[in-house]
Copies of this chain bind each other. A is one copy, B any other.
Amino acid sequence: MSNHDLTCKHKMARQNGIVQPLLTDLYQITMAYAYWKSGKVNDVAVFDLFFRNNPFQGEFTIFAGLEECLKFLQNFHYSDSDIEYLMQTLPGNIEPEFFAYLKDLTCKDIKLSAIEEGSVVFPRVPLLRVEGPLIIAQLLETTLLTLVNFASLMATNAARYRMVAGKNVSLLEFGLRRAQGPDGGLSASKYAYIGGFDGTSNVLAGKMFNIPVKGTHAHSFVTSFSTLDDIHSVILRHAETQEPCNLLDLATEWRNRVSSVIDISPEEASDGELAALISYAIAFPTGFLALVDTYDVKRYHFQGLSSRHRQHMNGHSGYNSNCGSNDTRQLKSPINSTYGYSTVERTLRSGLLNFCAVALALNDCGYRAVGIRIDSGDLAYLSVLARETFEQIAEAFKLPWFSKLTIVASNDINEDTILSLNEQGHKIDCFGIGTHLVTCQRQPALGCVYKLVEINGQPRIKLSQDVGKVTIPGHKEAYRLFGADGHALIDLLQRSSEPAPGVGQKVLCRHPFQESKRAYVIPSKVEHLYKVYWKDGRVCIQPKPLLEVRERVQSSLRTLRQDIKRNLNPTPYKVAVSDDLYNFIHDLWLQNAPIGELS
Contacts and interface: CB of A to CB of B under 8 A. Distances in A.
Contacts of A24: 176, 202-204
A217 B39 CA distance: 17
A386 to B, nearest CB: 19
Q: Which of A24, A85, A342 is most buried by chain B, counting CB atoms within 10 A of its CB? A: A85
B447 A178 contact: yes
Contacts of A440: 180, 444
A10 B302 CA distance: 63
A207 B370 CA distance: 50
Contact of A213 (B26, B287, B597): B26
A593 interface: yes
Contact of A224 (B14, B33, B455): B455
Given A146-B177, A203-B24, A460-B223, A597 B301 contact: yes
A240 to B, nearest CB: 13
A339 interface: yes
B146 A340 contact: no
A506 interface: no
Given A183-B181, A282-B38, A31 B221 contact: yes
A529 to B, nearest CB: 23
Interface in A412-437: 435
B220 A451 contact: yes
Interface residues of A, number: 155
Nearest to A303: B599
A566 interface: no
Count of identical protomers in the assembly: 2
Contacts of A340: 596, 598
A30 interface: yes
A6 B84 contact: yes
A453 B84 CA distance: 50
Interface in A95-134: 134
B85 A513 contact: no
A498 to B, nearest CB: 22
B186 A180 contact: no
Interface stretch (A291-299, A351-359, A394-402, A487-495): A291-299
Q: Which of A34, A284, A441 has the most CB of B within 10 A?
A: A34
A594 B336 CA distance: 10
A300 B597 contact: yes
A299 B597 CA distance: 7
A182 interface: yes
Contacts of A597: 299-301
Given A218-B27, A334-B515, A340-B598, A180 B178 contact: no
A230 B458 CA distance: 13
A190 to B, nearest CB: 9
